[in-house]
Amino acid sequence: MITMQKELFRQLFKRAFTNQFPAKHAPKSVNALLEAVGKGKAKLNPPVPVPENFRGKIAYDKNKCIGCQLCVKVCPANAVVFKPKEKKISYHTFRCTFCGECVNVCPVKCLTFTDEFLLADYKKD
């Protein structure tokens, strides 16, 4: 246990290893804090940065898409749905597993990864 005690003591003087909580102290009202952030009066601790080639939310460039449906065919989670009238696809973030197979398969590269990963939301799209 002495080894462990030494380790723990050392730990006291180190920077916190985990992700910082967005605000240093729990705010009285979350909405008020978010408003202040929106106006640029307060700052939130940002999440840890992601590395290069991170597999985050998929960005879709509708204009480039040629409607070939390859992405629909390979998507394991049925997160890409083809819209036959428009000959375009719609992408459901909440079903996506971020495997990236659609990004690899798209012949015109209109699907790309972004760095976004904080995707919790009330709305479905």
Sequence letter at residue 26: A
Q: How far apart are CA 85 and CA 80, in angstroms?
A: 15
Task: Give the range of 26-34, 35-43, 51-59, 81-89 binding other proteins by CB under 8 A.
Answer: 51-59
In this structure, what DSSP letter does residue 60 have?
E
106 binds, among ligand SF4, other proteins, none (CB under 5 to 8 A by kind): ligand SF4
**Would you say 8 or 32 has its CB closer to other proteins?**
8
- Determine if 22 is a binding residue for other proteins (CB under 8 A): no
67 neighbors 90 (Cβ within 8 angstroms)? no
Sequence letter at residue 101: E
Smallest distance from the beta carbon of 35 to other proteins, in angstroms? 33
Q: What are phi and psi of 40, to 5 degrees?
A: 85, 15
Question: Pattern of binders to ligand SF4 over 66-105, x per CB under 6 A?
Answer: xxxxxx--xxxx-xx--------x-x----xxxxxxx--x
Q: How far apart are CA 72 and CA 79, in angstroms?
A: 8
Binding site for other proteins (CB under 8 A): 1, 3-4, 7-8, 11, 17, 50-55, 70, 73-77, 97-101, 104-105, 113
